[in-house]
Structure 1
Amino acid sequence: MATTSGESTLADNSNRKKNIPIDTDEMVSEKPEEPEFDDAKPAEEADSIQIPENDARLKALEQEAAEKHDRLLRVSAEFENYKKRMNRQMEDLRKYANEALLKDLLYVVDNLERAVSTSTEKTGEPIDSCVLEGVEMTLTEITKLLTRYHVMPIEALGKLFDPAYHEAVMQEASADHPENTVIHVLQKGYLIYDRLLRPSMVVVSKAKS
């Protein structure tokens, strides 16, 4: 089968295109160069901003911790004082719980002492020894009871007048005693532990005019 000259020319051109060598290096697309940034300077600036902020935060936390510690110490001290105060109150309650009763009992002691004192004086009247013995025994037992509850008489006779423990009923001129000396005890005074239960009623000396 015969071919035309035009077809022969097209075939030759096609063969030439197939045989053209391709440079693959030229086909690789080159990536555009990225701009270089100086990362060190922004990091330094960020650090310079962040460090003062951290210092301020740290100081604030330290101050807050110090304030809380101070409050804790104050609360602890107040609680210790409260415990001591409550312990003292409980101790006082235990020691002085019977104070009113014991004070009333002193008047019974006064009457028993007067009875014994009167019976030993020469009144000219017969005294039943059994009655006297009973009164003395009763007085002894009540005195033991008072001692058991730490109630003790105040030694006032011959002492200088002390308004904290003595109640002066009258003054009496005396050349035998210094001024303001207790020369007579009209009624005994008593202490319960170290607290005044009843003052001594006394007569105090004064200088003769």
Structure 2
Amino acid sequence: MTQEANVTETLESPESVEHHHEPETKEVATDDRVVEEPEVVTVSEEPVASSENTAEDQIKAAHEKTKEYYERMLRISAEFENYKKRSAREMDSFRKFANESILKDLLPVVDNLERAISSSAAAQGADQCITEGVDLTLKEILRVLARYGVNPVEAQGKPFDPGIHEAVMQQESEEVPENTVLTEFQRGYTLHERILRPAMVVVSKAKQA
């Protein structure tokens, strides 16, 4: 009995019971500032040759673009020069032939004056003063026409040229080669390099055997 009581006391004795205390945690005051860790920047090292190729490509592209602009400028400049030349030719042609219809209408007047002179020269007893006056008038009109570029076409004794001669008939002849102008019925005229009126002529042909 005594031993059981001792055992009981021993078990219930506070010294015999192990008290496991958890370690006390102390709050450590921390600074309110947030410390950010620096970002690590990863630099990708590209090969130097790749950068050089890119620069060369850019230079080449710029060179091609410059060449394209230069060629375009040359084309525009050439077109503008052609335009100026064409405009100058058109203006010159306009000045030359602007009075074509009026000058052509004056030719019958010249024809009548020439006929009057021929008739008075053939007629006996014609007034010499009148004939001289008509002749002076004809010469003055011809000078005015020449000042505007109107000149007579040579026909008598010349080879027939369909560009400036108009054949009204053919006549056999042994004195001149075939297709030679024998007679001029009406004088032709040119206005600068353009035919204003063809000459009406008689053309020779070979005699038939």
Map residues 73-112 of structure 1 onto 2, 5 A cutoff.
73-112=74-113
Q: Deviations over 1:118-176 (max 9, x none)?
A: 11114x5x433343233222212111111221211111111111111111111111111
Paired amino acid for 2:65: E
Q: Distance in 1 between matches of 2:178 and 2:134?
A: 38
- Tell me the TM-score normalized by structure 1: 0.74
Q: Distance in 2 between matches of 1:177 and 1:207?
A: 9
**Residue 153 of structure 1: aligned partner:** 152
Alignment length (residue pairs):
166
Partner SS, residue 160 of structure 1: coil
Q: Deviations over 1:157-200 (max 9, x none)?
A: 11111111111111111111100000111111111222211111
Paired amino acid for 2:144: L
Q: Distance in 2 between matches of 1:138 and 1:152?
A: 17
Q: Deviations over 1:15-38 (max 9, x none)?
A: xxxxxxxxxxxxxxxxxxxxxxxx
**Residue 207 of structure 1: aligned partner:** 206
Map residues 1-209 of structure 1 onto 2, 5 A cutoff.
43=45, 45-122=46-123, 126-209=125-208
Q: Deviations over 1:78-127 (max 9, x none)?
A: 100110111111111122221111111011000110111111114x5x43
Q: Distance in 2 between matches of 1:196 and 1:59?
A: 60
**Higher fraction of helix:** 1
Q: Distance in 1 between matches of 2:140 and 2:50?
A: 90
Q: Distance in 1 between matches of 2:69 and 2:163?
A: 48
Over aligned residue pairs, what C-alpha RMSD do you find?
Answer: 1.6
Deviates more, 1:70-79 or 1:134-143: 134-143
Paired amino acid for 1:74: R
Partner SS, residue 167 of structure 2: strand
Cα distance, 1:72 vs structure 2: 0.5
What percent identity do the matched residue pairs reach? Answer: 52
- Tell me the TM-score normalized by structure 2: 0.74
Q: Distance in 1 between matches of 2:132 and 2:160?
A: 35
Q: Distance in 1 between matches of 2:164 and 2:112?
A: 21
Paired amino acid for 1:159: K
**Residue 18 of structure 2: aligned partner:** none
Q: Distance in 1 between matches of 2:183 and 2:48?
A: 94
Q: Distance in 1 between matches of 2:129 and 2:157?
A: 35
> Which protein has the larger Cα radius of gyration, Structure 1 or Structure 2?
2
Q: Distance in 1 between matches of 2:169 and 2:72?
A: 58
Q: Distance in 1 between matches of 2:73 and 2:97?
A: 36
Q: Distance in 2 between matches of 1:191 and 1:202?
A: 16
Q: Distance in 1 between matches of 2:73 and 2:92?
A: 28
Q: Distance in 2 between matches of 1:116 and 1:153?
A: 18
Q: Deviations over 1:42-69 (max 9, x none)?
A: 64x3422222222222211111111111
